[in-house]
Amino acid sequence: MTHQPQVTPFLHEDTHTFSYVVKDPASEHCAIIDSVTDFDYAAGGVTFGSADTIIEWVKSQGLIVDWVLETHVHADHLSAAPYIQAALGGKTGIGEHICAVQSVFGSTFNADSAFHRDGSQFDHLFKDGDQFHIGQLKGTIIHTPGHTPACLTYVFGDAAFVGDTLFMPDYGTARCDFPGGDAATLYESIQKVLSLPDETRLFLCHDYGTAERPALSSETTVKAQKQLNVHVHEGISQDAFVSLREERDRTLGMPRLMLPSVQVNMRAGHMPEPEANGVRYLKIPLNCFN
């Protein structure tokens, strides 16, 4: 590989989320991927200490932010993209199929007429195969649906940012039981990722560790996934994967922060508009997901 971006991970311990600063090795330009807002569900408290850590680090390195990117509409944490963009600049981006996610969840949460379901909350909507740049570093988009319809993998040189599509090899793959998810589609998406060169570094959105591996990790490789992934290593057929994935998904509970996360993330990280009393509210739809 001739282009090796400099990748700095930041772990949000409460949600086991890795955010990344991806730097062009030939300049001071960078992108920030999958940022996190600190959210106290019990108190309805929103703070930005974790995002501030990234902002302060970027400033300390003298970096220029070109992009603030999301791999998908996360169901386990609230994005800090607007907060980071206000502090550092850059354009927000996500996959063009955000519109499908907005359509489903806009109805679920009975979003008001101010909520547009066309992806316009983001500065740019990426299509499969699109190319763009961080400074001189070229990025390529791979549409990798299955977990959600809007999932993307961002590829920069020898680094790919896969969101929730894959976890560490000993943990497996993303669940597919959210609206718009599909295990057969996820299998096909994973094959796209695994067709990248073996030495490609894969950067994950989450790691939860295992009993045998309690230390969390943000990075693996295509080769390791093909050889060792407990759900989708080489030799596993699509039918076998679908059966395994669907059986496992039936045992999983709702992510702790799904209801607040989706409401915010489908709005590109913005909170719903204030109501007549000046207060912003997140909704809890009753008996919609049980």
Predicted confidence (pLDDT) per residue in 86-121, tens digit: 999 999 999 999 999 999 999 999 998 889 999 999
Query: Which whole number is the average pLDDT over 239-265?
Result: 96
Taking only the tens place, the pLDDT of each residue in 165-193 is: 999 999 999 999 999 999 999 999 999 99
Residues 191-196: contacts with CB under 8 Å, at least 24 apart: 192/142, 192/144, 192/153, 193/142, 193/144, 193/153, 193/160, 193/162, 193/165, 193/166, 193/222, 193/225, 194/222, 194/225, 194/226, 194/232, 196/155, 196/160, 196/222
Residue 290: what pLDDT?
74
Taking only the tens place, the pLDDT of each residue in 199-251 is: 999 999 999 999 999 999 999 999 999 999 999 999 999 999 999 999 999 99
Residue 112: what pLDDT?
85
In the predicted model, is pLDDT for residue 2 greater than 80? no
Residue 288: what pLDDT?
87
Query: Which whole number is the average pLDDT over 261-272?
Result: 97
Answer left, alpha or beta for residue 155, where phi above 0 means left and psi between -120 and 50 means alpha. Answer: beta
In the predicted model, is pLDDT for residue 1 greater than 60? no
| pLDDT level of residue 23 (50, 70, 90 thresholds) | very high
| pLDDT level of residue 271 (50, 70, 90 thresholds) | very high
Taking only the tens place, the pLDDT of each residue in 39-84 is: 999 999 999 999 999 999 999 999 999 999 999 999 999 999 999 9
pTM of the model: 0.96
Query: Which whole number is the average pLDDT over 249-261?
Result: 95
Q: Which domains does the chain have, with CATH numbers?
A: 7-265 (3.60.15.10)
Three-state SS string over the chain comes to CCCCCEEEEEEECCCCEEEEEEECCCCCEEEEECCCEEEECCCCEEECHHHHHHHHHHHHCCCEEEEEECCCCCCCCECCHHHHHHHHCCEEEEECCHHHHHHHHHHHCCCCCCCCCCCCCCCEEECCCCEEEECCEEEEEEECCCCCCCCEEEEECCEEEEECCECCCCCCECCCCCCCCCHHHHHHHHHHHHCCCCCCEEEECECCCCCCCCCCCCEEEHHHHHHHCCCCCCCCCHHHHHHHHHHHHCCCCCCCCHHHHHHHHCCCCCCCCCCCCCCCCCCCCCCCCC
Residue 114: what pLDDT?
84
